[in-house]
Structure 1
Amino acid sequence: MRILYLHQHFSTPAGATATRSFAMAEALAARGHAVTMACGQYAGAVTGLAGGYRHGRRAGPVGGFRVVEFAIPCGNHLRLAARAGAFLRYAARATGLALAGAWDVVVASSTPLSVALPALAARRLRALPFVFEIRDPWPELPRAMGLGSPLVWAGMDRLADAACRRAAAVVALSEGMAETALAHGAAAATLRVLPNGSDLDLFGPHVRPWRPDGLAPGVPLAVYAGAHGPANGLDQLVAAARLLRAGGSPLVLLLVGAGAEKPRLQAAAAALPNLRLLDPLPKPRLAGLLAGSQIGVQCLAPVAAFAEWTAPNKLMDYLAAGLPVVANLGGRAARLLEGGGFGPCGIATAPGDACALAAALAALAADPDRRAALGRAARAQAEARWDRRRLAEGFCQVVEGAAA
């Protein structure tokens, strides 16, 4: 089967961003399908291609499938208008590819929501079935954060309606995202929840650990690894670092990543010796850092919609690494940290409560036995519930069923 996989932000594990689409494309290729991944130039991503661009694109084999990379830079550091322009340019180039190739099925992975445009065009003009994957619900999240305008949200609503109603299958990363798909008209029979998974080979206690220079071996280290944008609410971690220092906790907070808020966070960290920042790390390097850390930190802005409408990759990485997690949100993440039958694997604090966040971090920093128990439960849950290889099998079945 010939599959066109559209994901503007694709990266291999050599990059510093999410690798779900790499894993899914690799799984499809392992089942004998001819997969072509079409992507842009996302900040922090590594596509696996080298050499120059010809007519604004380059292509080649990567990981058992083919990658077509368009010379369209994009990233969270760009202003909203620039990012929107990159989204539309990618949609235009991907539409040309979708209409020109001999495909059996198209996979359109959102965000951005504009990735649905080439899939819809291929369905209308070529009668090609497509799978619509919702990694973040748009326009629900931008609307909840007040990003954009009512006119923009209305346009995105119409596009999401068309994508959900006309897709042969819809994949959502959480039950909350699945509810937004139903609200946009997706048929329940076409809908499948396939969460983010844990890469148990890349992350885990078997990985050789490392720690940043200048950090004493006995100092507990808490790592936040992810975007530094308005949605992440990292001012809460700055406030927590101040409280931890005032309370005498030896804990050091390390923020790894990039984004529009990073320059301001760096300025704040200059006055806080227990707060450090690093640039984004390739996944294998990040795996070593997590192996050398004591706590994983999940932080989001206090937006009520985040409780059920987000499925952070970093949380899956922390669990795979066997780290206890401190998260400042309720909903899905809080339930996950409760552990179910695997026992608790972290602490969830109230959104926006920096004092509670600092208290949870200080409590774990002072209790290595509790950290060890939570970390064992985290790895056990990752192995039993979130193994990405098992979730990839489900994804392959959805794509094959859509083509059929």
Structure 2
Amino acid sequence: MRIIYIHQYFVTPEEGGAVRSYHLAKGLVETGVEVEMITAHSSGEYDFKMVEGIKVHYLPVAYDNTFGFAKRSVAFFSFVRLAKQLLKKLNRPDLLYITSTPLTTGLIGLWAKRRLALPYIFEVRDLWPEAPVQVGAVKNPVLKKALYKLEKRIYQHALKIVALSPGIRNYIENIVPAGDISLIPNFSDVKFFKPSFQKDEEYLKELDWKKEALSFAYTGAIGDVNAVGELLDFAEEAQLRNKNWQFAIMGKGKRLAALKIIAKEKKLNNLKFLPFGDKVAVRKLLSVTDVSFISFDHLPVLKTNSPNKFFDAIAMGNAIMVNHKGWVYNLVKRNKIGVVYDSQKMDLGIAKMEALDADRKRLKGMKHRASDLAVLHFSKEKALSRLLFTLDPKKYPLPTIDEVYMLIA
């Protein structure tokens, strides 16, 4: 089988960020599937690299998450145009595997199906345009109507659709009830992220953290919808109450500079901002962390998210502090791997963490159950088996019942 995988934001573990496409593409190559990746980079010219057996084409399309709506739109459509041009030059694949966001990548699939008679599978990471509409980034009623129409067309013409969470799957089912939709959530690299129940004392010194103090960390994007500011509020309250708790934030995004100013104004001596790092840096921080903060703004569409940081955290055996209701909330509650934090009920949030701090046996149980959840249900190997089944169910039957459905039933 030969696949052309299209992901505008493809990155490797060394680059840091969301590496789902890297692991899935690498896994496909290891099973004998030929994979070519079409992606973009900020360089001014085309480049080609072999990455772990993946043939990667880098198109010259500059992008940064600090871009405004207009500059983002230019980047999205530039990628579509250049990807079309490249597809006409490449050897014909059996199918295209196209991942969003942005939604505009679906235009490549629609064009390829019409002009080249190529089928495509469309992977939905986030709901577009629903997310930018709810956030307020898209307000024009004509544009909204056009985007929703485009979304429906992309789903209707896809050979199959891959959803990253139950909420995304349910949303798509309402739009295209006859669609062939698979659920393949984000996953844990359990061979790389492993629990470290003994904290690295040298790294603790580097952070100026105390070994026995309860530690919290946020790793990931720091944008408008990530609600990282709620962790600053929690840290401030902990400091006011003379808790010896310690906090760290590692990430990048358009809200980072503003959060640093807020932290300085609040005089948060218990909070550190760490430079954005690759997976090795994330693992190092999580290895000395007790509780990972998993947060999103309080919009209905964001309940459907399948955040990479959650799966990294549980693989490392971190307890979870989740600020929003959704499928991650359900996983946390059902599997007893953390606590729910409501920023509007600060006293309750502090009380929950005081109880956890006082009962380290309970905390240890949460950490062990988190690690078990990652290994048993969310390993990258299980995600790959689900993807192979989606590609060719006769050749690659699922070896076991899909436990993800059981977890969220």
Tell me by how many angstroms 1:288 deviates: 1.7
Offset from partner CA, 1:45-98 (integer Å, 9 cap, x none): xxxxxxxx6x72100210111111122222322222212211111111112222
Q: 2:224 aligns with which of 219, 227, 230?
A: 230
- Which residue type is aligned with residue 49 of structure 2? G
> Over aligned residues, Cα RMSD in angstroms?
2.2
Partner of 1:73: 62
- 2-side partners of 1:66 and 1:2: how far apart? 12
Partner secondary structure for residue 373 of structure 2: helix
Aligned to 2:150: 159
TM-score by length of 2: 0.89
Please give the alpha-carbon distance, in whole angstroms, between the structure 2 residues aligned to 1:16 and 1:80: 24
Give me the TM-score of the superposition, normalised by structure 1. 0.90
8 Å contact 1:228–1:262 — kept in the other structure? yes
Matching residue's letter, 2:339: I
- TM-fit CA distance, 1:304: 2.6
The counterpart of 2:165, out of the listed 171, 174, 184, is 174
Residues 301-339 of structure 1: CA deviation (Å, up to 9, x unaligned): 1213322x2111111111100111110111211210123
Q: Where in structure 2 are the equivalents of 1:107-122 lying within 5 Å?
A: 107-122=97-112
SS in 1 for 2:225: helix
Distance 2:347 2:146 in 1: 40
Q: 1:106 aligns with which of 96, 102, 105?
A: 96
Question: What one-letter code is carried by the residue in structure 2 that aligns with 1:182?
Answer: E
Distance 2:95 2:393 in 1: 10
**Which of 309, 314, 317 is the equivalent residue of 2:312?**
317
Aligned match for 1:94, one of 83, 89, 92: 83
Q: Distance in 2 between matches of 1:358 and 1:69?
A: 47
CA offsets per residue over residues 192-241 of structure 1, 9 Å max, x none? Answer: 11111111011112598444432233332201101111101122112111
Distance in structure 1 (CA, Å) of the matches to 2:292 and 2:282: 12
Pairwise CA distance, 1:100: 2.7
Q: Is 1:258 equivalent to 2:247 in the alignment?
A: no
CA deviations over 1:333-364 (Å, ceiling 9, x no partner): 1210123xxx4110123365455444444443
Question: What is the CA–CA distance in structure 2 between the aligned matches of 1:103 and 1:34, rounded to whole Å?
Answer: 9
Aligned counterparts of 1:301 and 1:359: Cα–Cα separation in 2: 23
CA distance in 2, matches of 1:389, 1:153: 38
User: For residue 385 of structure 2, what is the aligned residue in structure 1?
Assistant: 393
Paired with 1:77 and 1:355, the residues of 2 have a C-alpha distance of 34
- Distance in 2 between residues matched to 1:40 and 1:357, nearest whole Å: 42
1:180 positional shift: 2.0
**Residue type at the aligned position of 2:66:** H
* Separation (CA, whole Å) in 2 of partners of 1:153 and 1:357: 38
Larger CA deviation: 144-153 vs 320-329: 144-153
Paired residues, number:
388
Aligned to 2:332: 337
Preserved contact between residue 25 and residue 35 of structure 1 (Cα < 8 Å): yes
CA distance in 1 between partners of 2:328 and 2:10 (Å): 25
Q: Which of 330, 342, 366 in structure 2 is aligned with 1:374?
A: 366
Q: Percent same amino acid among aligned pairs?
A: 26
The answer on 1:347 being equivalent to 2:342 is no
CA contact 1:237–1:354 (8 Å) conserved in 2? no
Pair 1:280 & 2:264 matched: no
Q: CA deviation at 1:99?
A: 2.9
- Paired AA for residue 330 in structure 1: K
**SS of residue in 2 equivalent to 1:284:** helix
Unaligned 5+ runs, structure 1? 43-52
Give the deviation of 1:245 after TM superposition.
0.7
In 2: Cα distance, 1:362 partner to 1:82 partner: 46
Question: 1:145 aligned to 2:145?
Answer: no
SS in 2 for 1:337: helix
Q: What's the secondary structure of 1:29's corresponding residue?
A: helix
Structure 2 counterpart SS, 1:226: strand
- The residue type paired with residue 67 of structure 1 is V
Alignment partner, residue 48 of structure 1: none
- Cα distance between partner residues in 1 of 2:72 and 2:351: 37
Deviation at 1:176, TM superposition (A): 1.0
Question: What does 1:172-251 correspond to in 2, within 5 Å?
Answer: 172-185=163-176, 187-188=178-179, 190-205=180-195, 209=200, 210-211=203-204, 212-251=206-245
CA distance, structure 1, for counterparts of residue 365 and residue 260 of structure 2: 33
CA distance in 1, matches of 2:55, 2:393: 22
Q: Which sections of structure 2, spanning at least 5 residues, go unmatched?
A: 397-409
In structure 2, how many angstroms separate the alpha carbons of the residues matched to 1:367 and 1:242? 23
Please give the alpha-carbon distance, in whole angstroms, between the structure 1 residues aligned to 2:18 and 2:394: 25
Greater relative contact order (CA < 8 Å, ≥ 6 in sequence):
1
